[in-house]
Structures are given as structure tokens and as C-alpha cells.
Amino acid sequence: MHLPDRSRTGADIPAGQVVAQVHGGRETYEVSAQHGGQVLEWLVEEGDPVAPGQPVVRLHPAEVTG
């Protein structure tokens, strides 16, 4: 898992923004925020393996634009 700098704890994330990239074999998959909010806590670390559907970040729901 790769976590972009703009998605660090405290960052405001609009719905649909890519918050992480997961590398699986030869493919790279983007993980997008399902709703906007402020990043409260990352549930994974850079380089951790993740499973499909696994939560990777905890957001405080908020209306975020941009």
C-alpha cells in the first residue's frame, strides 16, 4: 500500500479522492474515499498488505470540496 503525502492525518479529503494505491502483482489499484472528511487515523501503514474491502483509513465525516 502506498499513501500519498496529501492524505496524511489531519488532511481534508473530498469524496472520490484517491487516498492510497495498492500494488497487486503487476497491477496497481487506486483506493478512493467513499465520502468526504478529515483523516483521523490510518488503519494501515505504508507497505502493509491489505485485502479487498479492508478499511484503510478512518475519516471524520464532513463536507469537503476540492
Domain spans, the chain:
5-61
- How distant, in Å, are the alpha carbons of 5, 40, 44 from that of 60? 18, 6, 17
pLDDT along the chain (66 residues), means of 10: 70 88 88 89 88 88 68
8 Å CB contact between 13 and 36: yes
* pLDDT on residue 65: 60
13: helix, coil or strand? strand
* pLDDT on residue 26: 92
Domain 5-61 in CATH 3.40.190.80: no
